[in-house]
Homo-oligomer: A and B are copies of this chain.
Amino acid sequence: MNPVKKVPLPQRGPEAHERREQIINTAKEHFRHYGYSKTSVGDIAKLIGVSNAYIYKFFSSKQDIAEAVCAETLGKIDDELIAISKLKSSATNRLRLTFKALMEKSLELFFEERKLHEIAALSSANNWCANTNHQAVLFSVIEQIILDGREEGVFDRKAPLDEVCRGIVDAMIPISNPLLLEQKEPEMLEESLVALTNMVLRSLAV
């Protein structure tokens, strides 16, 4: 995902980082208004006022930029979930909030404007967003809440922790995978959110 591995950066340090962010944000806006397929690397370069070659110092292709947009979107969701896991609230409540926030943030960030659907669909179909980092964050957020709930004495301790967390992270897929979100009616999604959250909580009951 990191272009540093693919092509050498023109300069190191904060300036390069800012440039990269600028490209990502400009691309995101353009994708949002005109769609992924109607955006070229040239469009992005023109908007920033640099050459195509300059963009290619940071990203190897348009898809590479779209993957970065996608990774950034997931990063924002992760930040939200980490904040929830640290709230001073019961483990049960934090687990509910995690499910709800994951669905709402995914809908908001991937679908706030119609045109981003295309990226969400492409990213799901091509597995761009299934990046290891996001999966690891999700798993560790859930693990923390489960451990807290076990300590509070409200979650059962018999089932293996890893298996419990795996099951919960998997149970979040139907309400967070962009492609699945796109296919479901909003009322159905709301029903699934309630059904899955309650099922997970029943499975944890002492």
List A residues at the B interface (Cβ < 8 Å): 121, 124-125, 127, 130, 156, 159, 163-164, 166-168, 170-171, 173-174, 177, 179-180, 183, 191-192, 194-196, 198-200, 202-204
Contacts and interface: CB of A to CB of B under 8 A. Distances in A.
A127 B203 contact: no
A163 B203 contact: no
Given A159-B202, A167-B198, A171-B196, A183 B130 contact: yes
Contacts of A166: 191-192, 195
A171 B183 contact: no
- Total identical chains: 2
Contacts of A121: 125
A183 B124 CA distance: 9
Contacts of A167: 192, 195-196, 198-199
A199 B168 contact: yes
Given A166-B191, A174-B174, A183-B127, A199 B200 contact: yes
